[in-house]
Structure 1
Amino acid sequence: MLLLLHVAYYMVCFMEGDIAIVPADVTSCIGLTAYTFSILMLYYVIFQIGHLWTVKLLVAPRPYHVINKSFLFRYVKHPNYYLNIIPELCGLALIFHSWYTLCIGLPVYLIPLIIRIRQEEQVMRTEFDNY
C-alpha cells in the first residue's frame, strides 16, 4: 500500500505541477533543499542498517539482526520515515507547488505510514527484549 501511495503521490505532484506551470522560486528552492536532505538521509539510513534495510516488515535471524544504537537511531525512532519519506514528500510538493497534493495527499499517505510504524514497533518489542 505504501509503495502504491508513494508512486501515486509522485505522479499527482508532477501532474499538479505541470498544470500550474509555476516558475522556480524560493518555495521551489526550499522544496529542493528538503528533497535533497531526504535523499541524503535515505542513503545514510541504508548505510547504517546495511543488509537489513528493506521495504518489507521482517526480522532477520538473531545473529544478523541487532538493534542499531548509532547516534541517529538512538535519537530518532524510524529515521527512514521521519527524516527521509516525510521530507521527501513535502519537498517534492514544494518543488512543484503541488498544494493540493501536499494538503490532501500527504495526510492520506500518513495513515498507512502510521500503521506501518506501529507494526514495526510491535515486531521490535516482540523480538527484542532491549527495544
Structure 2
Amino acid sequence: MIQRFIELGEGYGDFYELLELAKSNQSRLSQMLLLETNKQGQRCASVAVILHPAAKGGFMPIYYCREGITMPTEKLSKRIQLFEQLAYELNVHIKTLEVRPSIDFPDLDLYTQYLTGILRVNHCLPPLTW
C-alpha cells in the first residue's frame, strides 16, 4: 500500500476541490481531518480527506489544504463550517488534531513524514503493509 499526501493549495478553489473530492469519493472516504496549528502567532488550520486504498494497486491518497484557513477566536471560519457541514452530510466524524506548523520543517517532505507519524499514532492511517 502506498500512502501519499497530495497538497491542493491554500485558496478557496483548492478548498472547494477538496470538498468535491470527498463527495465524489464517498464510497472510499476513510477520514476527514482538521489539523490545527499556530503559525507565527496566528491560529490556522489544514483540512484533509483520507481515502481508503484503491482496490488495484493499493494507492491511499491523503488530500489536504495546508494551513490556509485562519482560525478567528470569536467565531468559526466559513470554510470550517462548510467542512463540518459536508462531514455531517456524509455521516463522517471530523478528527481534530493539534500539529506543528510546516514552517518548523526545512523541507515539505519532512513535514509530511511528521504528519504521517502523527496520523499513524492517532489511528487515522493504518500501518504500512508490504
| Larger of the two Rg values belongs to structure | 1
Q: What range describes the TM-score normalised by the shorter chain of this pair?
A: under 0.3
Give TM-score scaled by structure 2 length.
Answer: 0.27
